[in-house]
Structure formats: structure tokens, C-alpha cells
Amino acid sequence: MTNNEFMDPTPANLRLPDSLDDVRITSLPQAAYYISDFITQEEEQAILDKIASAPKPRWKQLSHRRLQTWPSDLVNNKLMDAPLPSWLSDPIVPRLKSIRLSQGLDSPDIFFDSPHQKPNHVLINEYPPGIGIMPHKDGAAYHPLVCTVSLGASLCLNIYKSKDDGALDPNPAWRILQEPRSLLITTSDLYTDFLHGIEDITEDIELSNSTIANWELLQSPEEFANGCNVRKTRTSLTYRDVMKISKLGGKLGFLRKN
């Protein structure tokens, strides 16, 4: 694997950080990073168009929302051996690989210690206004690193602690405001020890520097100066590295279709 494989022609109108140290959400446990302007509006629209044009069988319809999994669902915590489609790989994967963990040319990227050194699975969730997801952990099938790109609209992600008796504290310990075209990375203890969820509400309220963990990293905090965010349909791209691969997938041609 060469460095050239992951070279990212980042558009000039994007200002990516020199390192993830520059965009760490310091009020959270180890460790989370927020880049407010990770893809362009044109890239965002191109991805949304691809999602909308996906064959109907690609959608899994839940009670109030729907999702797509690429390149396939997991079976017994294993991923079929198939590549991501190009529209989910480029430009996001090279861009993820282009950002160093800390200052210095010899600093590794965020996936340096994952089994495949890059994400191999993408979960696409569509959240209409008023629809969220219950507090949960992502589970043991994945390397403890999640990269989430938000498309279309803003909403709050809540981080929850467990009480001493093991029960979930219903009040979120922290809130992260995710803007369109932003990237949120969660790793380490924040991945393994805490739950995350999205409330079933039509409006995020009480938004301020004192209530939003990543407020100082927002692209447009002035948009939330009144403390509110009226929800619109938000689509998330969740990039992870599934640790176990089933080689059977390499023989199933239909999995390789874009």
C-alpha cells in the first residue's frame, strides 16, 4: 500500500486541519474530533444524489427511518470481501487518510492501527425531522473508531453515561452538534465506554457554548445564536473498519455492483 493510493486532491475552498490535535473536542473523554467543513457543497450533493438513486433493495426500511449498508450487511460480525463503491470511497477515504493525528510528517493517520488501515464499511442512515435513534454502542465487530460525515442538515448527537448500577443515565452527559458537511471522529474510551443516541425531536434547543461540547469548532455558530435548530432531513455516512472479513464475498459478483 503506497501513500499515493490515499492522496487527496482537497479543494482549495476547504480548510482541513494540519492535524487532528487541532480539532479535538477537549471537553469529551478520549477522544473525539470535529471538522466542520470536511466536504464541499458540490461533493455533498453528489453523494446525496447517489444515495437517492440507489436501487430500492438497497434500502432497509425500519419503523420510522431507513438505511443502506455498503458494501453489504454483516453476517456473524463478518463483512463480505467487497470494495466500497467509488462514490463512497472518493473523496472521503483519501481525505480521512490525509489528516495526521498530530503535527509532523511522520505522524500516522487515524486508521494507522486498524486491521485494514482504512474504513471498509459504510452505514447510511436517513433521519427525518422528529426521528432519532436510541442510545447504543456500536459493538465489537468494528475497530474502535467511527468517522461520521453529516449531509443535508444539522442535529445533536447525545453522549450518555451508565450509572453505578449499570443502568443508563437518561440525561445526556454531553451533546455534539453535527453540521452539514462536517466530520465527527470518535475513538478510544468514548467509543467503548459510552453510549450515543439522537432524540426523537423536531427541534434541538438550549444550544450554546455551555451546552454543546464542540461549540468552538462549529463552522457557523451564529446560525444557532437563538439556541435552537429546527430539524430537517439529515443523512449520515458512518465509516468503520470491520475487523473480520469473509473471503466468500469476493466470489459473489452482485456485491460488487455500485
pLDDT value, residue 13? 80
- What residue ranges in the chain does DSSP mark as E strands? 32-35, 60-61, 66-70, 74-75, 78-80, 121-127, 133-136, 145-151, 155-160, 174-178, 183-187, 195-198, 203-204, 229-230, 234-240, 244-246
b vs e for 118-130, b when ≥16 Cβ sit within 10 Å of the residue's Cβ? bbbbbbbbbbeee
Instruction: Please check the confidence at residue 208 and state whether its pLDDT lies above 70.
Output: yes
Q: In one letter, which amino acid is 88?
A: L
Q: Are 97 and 6 in contact (CB under 8 A)?
A: yes
- Label residue 1 exposed, middle or buried (CB < 10 Å: 0-12, 13-18, 19+): exposed
The answer to whether the bond into 57 is cis (omega within 30° of 0) is: no
Residue 88 CB: number of other CB atoms within 10 A? 23
Instruction: Please check the confidence at residue 104 and state whether its pLDDT lies above 90.
Output: no
Instruction: Please check the confidence at residue 249 and state whether its pLDDT lies above 60.
Output: no
Residue 62 CB: number of other CB atoms within 10 A? 12
pLDDT value, residue 105? 78
The contacts of residue 172 (CB under 8 Å, 6+ apart) are 158, 159, 160
When pLDDT is cut at 50, 70 and 90, the band that residue 4 belongs to is: very low
**Contacts for 109-113: CB closer than 8 Å, 24+ residues apart:** 109/6, 110/20, 110/145, 110/147, 110/185, 110/187, 111/145, 111/241, 113/143
Find residue 55's DSSP bridge partners.
none
Residues constituting the chain:
258
pLDDT value, residue 9? 59
DSSP state of 241: -
pLDDT digits (tens, 9 = 90+) for 116-145: 999 999 999 999 999 999 999 998 899 999
Q: Are 43 and 51 in contact (CB under 8 A)?
A: no
In which residue are the cell numbers 426500511 written? 61
Closest by Cα among 54, 60, 62 to 73 = 60
- 110 phi, psi to nearest 5 deg: -65, -25
The contacts of residue 231 (CB under 8 Å, 6+ apart) are 127, 129, 130, 153, 154, 155, 201, 202, 203, 204
- Label residue 142 exposed, middle or buried (CB < 10 Å: 0-12, 13-18, 19+): buried
Instruction: Please check the confidence at residue 90 and state whether its pLDDT lies above 90.
Output: yes
Q: Are 177 and 212 in contact (CB under 8 A)?
A: yes
Q: What structural domains does the chain harbor? A: 18-252 (2.60.120.590)
Instruction: Please check the confidence at residue 251 and state whether its pLDDT lies above 90.
Output: no
**pTM of this structure:** 0.91
Instruction: Please check the confidence at residue 34 and state whether its pLDDT lies above 50.
Output: yes
